Chain A
Amino acid sequence: MNAEHLVTMANQIGSFFETQGTYEEGVVSVADHLKKFWEPRMLKVIGEYVRSGGEGLHPAVAEAVKRAVPA
């Protein structure tokens, strides 16, 4: 899985949900979306990416990834 591509995808998801409510609601929605639609190996790669710094991920998305993919 190409982490860079996953970052783009995750940020796109974040761009939608950040307009749907508060910051916290956005984080919850992004995490929920990732768990609902991303296959485990995708979650694994993005989870590792976040834990290694998460460069390029929107803050709310990075937070959502941490919640969707516990270490």
Chain B
Amino acid sequence: MPSLKPLDYGTPERRADAMVTLEVDGETVSVPAGTTVMRASVEAGSKVPKLCATDSLEPFGSCRLCLVEIEGRKGYPASCTTLVEPGMKVRTQTEKLQQIRRGVMELYISDHPLDCLTCATNGDCELQDMAGVVGLREVRYGYEGENHLKSVKDTSNPYFTFDPAKCIVCSRCVRACEEVQGTFALTIDGRGFASVVSAGQNGPFMESECVSCGACVQACPTATLMEKSVIDRGVPEHSHITTCAYCGVGCSFRAEMKGNEVIRMVPDKNGFANHGHSCVKGRFAWGYATHKDRITKPMIRKKITEPWQEVSWADAIAYTAAEFRRIQDKYGRASIGGITSSRCTNEETYLVQKLVRAAFGNNNVDTCARVCHSPTGYGLKTTLGESAGTQDFDSVRATDVIMVIGANPTDGHPVFASAMKRRIREGAKLIIVDPRKIDMVDGPHIHADFHLPLKPGTNVAMVNSLAHVIATEGLIDEEFVAARCEGKPFENWRKFVMEERNSPEAMESVTGVPAALVRGAARLYAQGGNAAIYYGLGVTEHSQGSTMVMGIANLAMATGNIGREGVGVNPLRGQNNVQGSCDMGSFPHELPGYRHISNNEVRSLFEADWGVTLAPEPGLRIPNMFEAAIDGSFRALYVQGEDIAQSDPNTQHVTAALTSLECLVVQDLFLNETAKFAHVFLPGASFLEKDGTFTNAERRISRVRKVMPPLAGLSDWEATCELSKALGYPMDYKDPSEIMDEIARLTPTFHGVSFAKIDELGSIQWPCNEDAPNGTPVMHIEEFVRGKGKFVVTEFVPTEERVNTRYPLILTTGRILSQYNVGAQTRRTMNNVWHDEDRLEIHPHDAEDRGIREGDWVGVTSRAGETVLRARIAERMQPGVVYTTFHFPGSGANVITTENSDWATNCPEYKVTAVQVTLVSHPSEWQEQFQKFTEQQIRLVDERKPATTT
């Protein structure tokens, strides 16, 4: 079990080829050049007292507690700011040092409340520890002098308090906000004794720029910044290392516990994805796991207009199996299917696709990656040979030019955004391609060198223009291309992009971006050193999503920006396990490891292992399932951990399909929007309640560890096994490690993966096999996975979703920092204080044209439907473009979005919907119906009949 207090080395690790040998308290130690005496002392086994130092922050040298003696040097240098030198002889414990340190502590304690016994951090306070370490026995100055003890506590943040009376002004919080998070919300206000930590303009935290990442709370050595959960429930007594279940960064956390109760989630400094950092969701928004809305007993009903009946797991499974078999007998083997979840573990996802292929006997399995990153899979597989990003996150430390396309990292992937911002502060250049002026365009100490504010739907035109500049101005890395890429496709591509019609000037009227900006950005990308592209759903969720992904790969190959640290093509995955759910064979056309179902050799491998015959044809994708449900050929669906009724486009079409089903089985934590149409509800388990693995955006497989028993008695993988058994195809696993063993056995890129190996290494980036036993941080180093890289001609084809006089504006959708996806988790936390409704962002000009003011109710109408939201006037929008989030079901954001989709993968075109916006005074017809339906379904749950058997 990991320690609640991991060893703190005081200052960050340095990496250097040269080692320096010195002596600390008689012990010889060798450390990399550039290491501080403080860190070397810890390495040597001597802990130097400290308060302003911690190994997540650069040395500061203010507390004067870490003084040491160095042979041959005068005075008492601070060990945190003194670098090691060869032959140095350091003494950390002498009578004189003790005397100085006691004097320092006396001063601190003379202005600190003496309430240790009732303090929330009693037993978990560095100030308290240091008082003990230095042997403080008295405070000669007394406590009557001027002090800060009556300072007012700030409780405005929902998750932590700020008590200036307990502050020792060590600046750790201020530095954490700057160095780790990069928000610069905190400062030290005043000078000398009047110095105080100040949020924003010396106001409450909630009125400052604070993004509630928790870095300051973690850095605080006293009870000044303190989690409210610890204040309420006391300090934790044990912990488990696990992986966050929010975005695709996949942060490692220490779940700090009391018994089975989570007290706080603390980012793990040994986590390779996050290095001890977190965001407001992972750090604080975990309360949903024990929210009163959790449904923890299985339920069934014949019709969705009937009350639910609670039943035992056995009865629910038996009912489901009987219904599925009845429906298959009546309508055929292909009349049922399943949807895997990117929020569930690899092992659970693998089992659901196995259930569908082996027990259902068809390939009607899909996953929510269909609606987000399926074009990434297609595009990168075609060009590079593997359906995954090329780098690890740490690669950004060696990047000179960061190009962000269609992503909003500070909101969607905040912890990695902090790593990017740190690199930019160090001097890396920044190019942003986005219709909106996202926060990274112009933030604290961050300014984009180029912002290309293109019109939505013109990504491919833009990437062709960038390529045109690179090709026509002689910026192609000819040597790289000749050595690493197929010749004929490259020549076809070069000829294509060099055509004048693809020039920035010719495309200016299409993209809306001045040609000079495009030329400047292209030159910087090609000539600025190591250049890396990071992209998000603003790339994939278009009718040409796959084309754009290939266009990005073309750019990277053409400039030689692939196959080494600091460069690459990096999809920022939306959900925690999108990469994993795709890896595990969740798509209807391919088995785990991205191998096509029609491949006889591969299929035979699985058939031999699973003991069944597999169908060789691809199954239905999610949108195809909806079509088939409406035409009557698809009658039953098992949905694990997804909310397609809220997240998928054209809500009315989706709900029509769900209503057509004879048996809809939903397995989830809550009665989500999809479950309101269900006939069977199987209670799901949160990430805190199960063992397994998640795979993040950098292909990193990390352990998810059970910290509390499943509230419903079964983990999700166990429920899937039970269902499979009831269908006559038993899947017997003692625990999830055996599922991973099977995955590894059948998947070449996972051959070397096991729970034991992950536990040993901390985490593993696939491919992990005989060729790469410890995993692969950077792919395509010597050659591409497909051998030679393949350039693809990316002709710009305008979307059919076009503006006209009736629908003159373009709507794009996205998410914000405090809420996550459909909001099922975050809406059940205090994160609502930052965002309690979805609003329509509209440029002031468009608002003025329509007489719209801040907060007005506006109708948003598209060819698919209408909904009503409140308006937010936003300068960051460009005229002609409006934006909303989709975190609240009643907002109906997807009532407006259409079924237009990517040509290759059917990924919906969420980012381009032609709409009109008008002032209105009442909700839309859909919203009124939604409200009635929701009330009915909540009533049917509230009136559920208790189980008669157990």
Contacts and interface: CB of A to CB of B under 8 A. Distances in A.
Contact of A39 (B543, B619, B630, B631): B619
A1 B792 contact: no
B897 to A, nearest CB: 16
Given A1-B628, A16-B904, A36-B618, A41 B795 contact: no
Nearest to A2: B627
A38 interface: yes
* Main SS at interface, chain A: helix
A33 B904 contact: yes
Contacts of B492: 21
Contacts of B906: 9
B129 interface: no
Interface string B790-813: 001101010010000000000000
Contacts, number: 62
Contacts of B627: 1-2, 5
B633 interface: yes
B624 A13 contact: no
A41 B618 contact: no
Nearest to B364: A39
A65 to B, nearest CB: 15
Nearest to A20: B793
Contacts of A39: 334, 363-364, 588, 617-621, 624
A2 B624 contact: no
A2 B903 contact: no
A15 B596 CA distance: 24
A42 interface: yes
Interface in A6-65: 8-9, 12-13, 15-16, 19-21, 33, 35-42
Contacts of A8: 800
Nearest to A17: B903
A19 B795 contact: yes
Nearest to B795: A19
B618 A38 contact: yes
Interface string B895-936: 000010101111000000000000000000000000000000
B903 A40 contact: no
A68 B792 CA distance: 23
Interface in B228-260: none
The residue in A1, A2, A9 that gathers the most chain B C-beta atoms within 10 A of its C-beta is: A1
B128 interface: no
Nearest to A15: B797
Given A15-B903, A16-B903, A33-B904, A40 B617 contact: yes
A36 B598 contact: yes
B547 interface: yes
B589 A36 contact: yes
A33 B902 CA distance: 14
B387 to A, nearest CB: 14
A37 B618 contact: yes
A1 B589 contact: no
A38 to B, nearest CB: 7
B792 A37 contact: no
A35 to B, nearest CB: 8
The residue in A9, A16, A36, A42 that gathers the most chain B C-beta atoms within 10 A of its C-beta is: A16
Nearest to A35: B598
A13 B906 CA distance: 11
B631 A2 contact: yes
A9 B903 contact: yes
A24 to B, nearest CB: 16
A37 B589 contact: yes
A37 B382 CA distance: 14
Given A20-B792, A39-B588, A41-B633, A13 B903 contact: yes
Interface in B862-900: 899
Interface string B625-645: 001101101000000000000
Given A16-B903, A21-B492, A39-B619, 9 more contacts: A1-B624, A1-B627, A2-B627, A5-B899, A9-B901, A12-B797, A16-B547, A20-B792, A40-B617
Nearest first, the 4 A-B pairs at minimum CB distance are A12-B903, A19-B795, A39-B620, A15-B797
27 contacts: A1-B627, A1-B628, A1-B631, A2-B627, A2-B630, A13-B904, A15-B795, A15-B797, A16-B547, A16-B797, A16-B904, A19-B793, A19-B795, A20-B792, A21-B492, A36-B596, A37-B621, A37-B904, A39-B364, A39-B588, A39-B618, A39-B620, A39-B624, A40-B334, A41-B633, A42-B620, A42-B624
